Amino acid sequence: MLSHDAFAANTKKVAAKSSQKNTQSKAADVHYLEWQEVQSFIAEMQAQHQFPLDQLQHIFDNARYMESAVQLVKPAPPGKPKNWKAYRARFVENGRIAAGVTFWERNQETLQRAERQFSVPAGIIVGLIGVETIFGKNTGSFRALDALTTLAFSYPETPNRETRSQFFKNELSQLLLFARDNKLDVFSIKSSYAGAIGLAQFMPSSLRQHAVDFDTDGKIDLRESEADAIGSVANYLAKHGWQKDLPFAFPATLLDQDPASLSLKDALNRGLKSSFYIDDLKLLVSTADDKAPRNLKYGLIDLQNGDDPTEYWLATENFFAITKYNRSYFYAMSVIDLGNVIALARTK
């Protein structure tokens, strides 16, 4: 007779096996080539990009439904308030810092060349690759074709389902074009659950538009070439508004003590851009940092800290260039902080 703990453990194993069987059964029942929506997509790829019909039929006959991608892309349920300090601690931690120092030392000349060519500091490039994949450790184990096909045609029922499905259809077409243009087996390309590829986690559209052959070996490879990843990140940021020698952000102190005031809400909701001079915000916030140029425009951003006080910052266009990579203030600040901490660790 099983003990209570053993019985519970055994029950979990049985439930897990049952769930896995159900998922495998569902995946086996999905035959994308038979779907009318997929047939329409194939016809578009033929008409717009001259893809051979038999090649597309073979691809979608072998594309697999990925239930895990569907679950992972679902929005997180409402829960605890956002917490910047907890978010930062996930990325600015000892293992990632040590790996960053090694990566920087190994690629010092390449990083210097990228900084000269694109004006993006090495610390930002290193910080971004570190946040994205721990310098190539976590690049994703999904077949990109399966992940993107699933999210293009089997996106979960959410209010923005139509918009997101169209986004992933476009990324799927870009993946097919990238594989064809670079003579790659599309089934060999691995990605995250959302289809992001390589050390820099570029979506296929970014891969085609912004990735560069920075090691000059005649091919673009963000999966294996650290040099290509470095150059591509720098090129992406340069193309999205990065300005040479522009600072990133300065801490600000809230003067209007009512966080629900309309003027504060308006200042915080101007989008991912710089809209104000410091003097425009003098009734709302101030900054004690005398290095903050008064002739620059800033955006006011907030970093919520759960039950602790919210942090406020004056962010420049370079900060917002990072948010074009990921539309999160937490993300952009983590990239900056991780790069700074790694740079400091290199001097010790």
Residues labelled as active-site residues: 132
The continuous run of DSSP H or E covering 222 comes out as: none
Long-range contacts of 276-283 (CB under 8 A, 24+ apart): 276/300, 278/314, 281/252, 281/314, 282/255, 283/255, 283/256
Measure the CA dihedral 85/90/93/97, to 10°: -120
Chain centre distance of CA 36: 31
Contact partners, residue 111, CB within 8 Å, separation at least 6 = 104, 122, 125, 126, 230
C-alpha to C-alpha distance for 234 and 249, rounded to whole angstroms = 19
Nearest to 35 by CA among 190, 169, 233: 169
Q: In Å, what is the CA distance from 276 to each residue of 102, 171, 291, 296, 318?
A: 39, 35, 17, 8, 15
Q: How far apart are CA 157 and CA 162, in angstroms?
A: 9
- Reference 123, options 107, 137, 139; nearest CA is 107
Q: Which two tokens stand for residue 253?
A: 């102190």
Amino acid letter, 296 = L
305 strand-pairing partners? 83, 308
| Cβ contact 269:330 at 8 Å | no
